[in-house]
Amino acid sequence: MKLLAVETATEACSAALYVDGAISERFELAPRHHTKLILPMIDELMREAGLKPSELDALAFGCGPGSFTGIRIATGVIQGIALGADLPVVCVSTLAAMAQELFDRTNNTLAFTAIDARMDEIFWGVYQRDALGFAELIGNESVTPAALVECAVADAGVGIGSGWGVYADVLMERLAGRVRHYESDNLPRAALIARLGVRGFEQGLAVPVELATPVYLRDKVAKTEAERRLGVQ
């Protein structure tokens, strides 16, 4: 199995290549430089592996939620490669990738993921470790004020993501003692997008390029993008 993955939904920019169980990654914390970095990262990974896009089985990308511009960069890059090489695409949640990194690194089984969404809101998702060790969403991902986050389980877990760096006090109060600790510097990485992308491919979740669309969550952003396509001023 050979799969290329990219993740640019936050200030971190990364690309990863999965080849028969081994993952190579390029990662850089570089706000506003994703467009300059992502293609050279991909070229370097592919060159080192001696692969051409046509030799891949699939692609995966962090489809959001996250930065509107960042998500569009990842979407555009993956769509371009998929069209050129006729490859299927697996859309992977940015929040799921953050939770997966926690599960792979620790024995924790519950992750409260939160990315700062600006405008006094966070992108929010609660993930649990399934029987095979993969991140499984509980309920729905949402964009919400920190004081209104929802969690359908009473177990204790770990808070991860930039949202915790901004709204830790509010989230700790809202979750009423269920947070063991939090890590506000946890950022999504393409290596975890690749890991979850392979899992999704094995589950039959890969889609044709025209169905590989980003997730914005915030209605106004999504509406603006739709209006742009229709030429609405």
136-158 pLDDT, tens per residue?
999 999 999 999 999 999 999 99
What pLDDT does 219 receive?
Answer: 63
- Per-residue pLDDT at 228: 33
Contact 224, 198 (CB under 8 A): no
**89 & 99 share domain:** no
**Are 68 and 35 in the same domain?**
yes
Q: Per the confidence metrics, is the pTM higher than 0.85?
A: yes
pLDDT score of 207: 98
The residue among 57, 61, 51 whose CA lies nearest residue 88 is: 57
Q: Are residues 65 and 124 in the same domain?
A: no
User: What pLDDT digit, counting tens, does each position of 169-228 carry?
Assistant: 999 999 999 999 999 999 999 999 999 999 999 999 999 999 999 999 976 444 334 433
As beta bridge partners, residue 155 has: none
112: Cβ–Cβ under 8 A, 6 or more apart, which residues? 124, 126, 149, 151, 157, 158, 159, 160, 171, 175, 179, 182
Same domain? For 31 and 79 the reply is yes
CATH of the domain at 58: 3.30.420.40
Q: What is the pLDDT of residues 128-138, one digit of tens each?
A: 999 999 999 99
14 and 125 fall within a common domain: no
Comparing 14-18, 19-23, 83-87, 227-231, which segment has the lowest mean pLDDT?
A: 227-231
Q: Residue 61's domain spans which residues? A: 2-93+188-230
The pLDDT tens digits of the residues spanning 36-87 come to 999 999 999 999 999 999 999 999 999 999 999 999 999 999 999 999 999 9
If one counts the domains in the chain, the total is 2
Q: Which DSSP helix (H) or strand (E) runs through 41?
A: helix 34-49
Question: 57 with 83, same domain?
Answer: yes
* Residues 177, 208 within the same domain: no
The residue among 13 and 229 whose pLDDT is bigger is 13
